[in-house]
Structures are given as C-alpha cells and as structure tokens.
Amino acid sequence: MTRRAVQTSNAPAAVASYSQAIDTGHLVFLAGQIGLDPTTGEIVGGGIDAEAERALRNVIAVLDAAGLSMSDVVKTTCFLADINDFAAFNAVYGKFVTDPPPARSTFAVAALPRGARVEIEAVAVRPEA
C-alpha cells in the first residue's frame, strides 16, 4: 500500500501533527476542514452558511490536489457546534454534493477548533484506471 500526504496551499495548512489528506492509491482520507480562509488563516464571517461553504471549498481544494472531485467522495463526517444549525448547514451542503450524495454522518459536538461552527471530513475513492 502506498501512503502519500496530499498538501495544497488552496486550503488551510495543517497546524498540528496531521496531513490535509492521505492518499493510499485507491482511497483518499481527508482531514476535517473548517471555515478558515486559506489566505488569511481566519474563520470567515457570515455565520453557518459562510462557514459551511468555505469548509466545503477547502474540501474541494484538497480533493483537487489529490486529482479528485466531490463526485469521488463516498463518505463525509460533519460536525456542528450547534445542532440547531443543521437545516442551514444541510442547505449549503446539498449545493456541493453530486448525485447520488455520499453517505454522511452529522454530529453535534461541544466545540470545534478556532471556534468554528462546522467541520467536514471526507473519504474519496480513486476511480479505477
């Protein structure tokens, strides 16, 4: 099995002992992405809608660096700091996923890094060559 780190400056840099993603050659495992602007390093303003969109754009940037897209995503795990944001988050999320949408779990958590309201991690499958 190959194990290669995926890194792009188009998504926030890893700030601890983790990679933006790990590519095994067949599966790509993305670390959680929050609504950080990769240019400023700050959480975007505008509430859950803006944070969800930025987090998804960060996911897309990491997928792109791995040579993949949202249509290759088979599973996401989504974390919300407030479960009351579920409907708003889901509306934004739905604009980014392809049909059929990936399997998904969504959890309410006590807190997220940097005071974020949402974090999204994903698993993608590399199409057969």
State the first-to-last Cα distance of the chain, in angstroms, to the nearest integer: 16
How many domains in the chain? 1
pLDDT tens by residue, the chain, 129 residues: 789 999 999 999 987 899 999 999 999 999 999 999 999 999 999 999 999 999 999 999 999 999 999 999 999 999 999 999 999 999 999 999 999 999 999 999 999 999 999 999 999 999 875
Its domain, for residue 72, covers: 4-125
Distance CA 18, CA 15 (A): 8
Distance CA 100, CA 106 (A): 17
CATH assignment at residue 100 = 3.30.1330.40
Structure tokens at 112: 């997220």
Cα distances (angstroms) measured from residue 73 to each of 22, 54, 65, 112: 14, 17, 14, 23
Quote the pTM value: 0.96
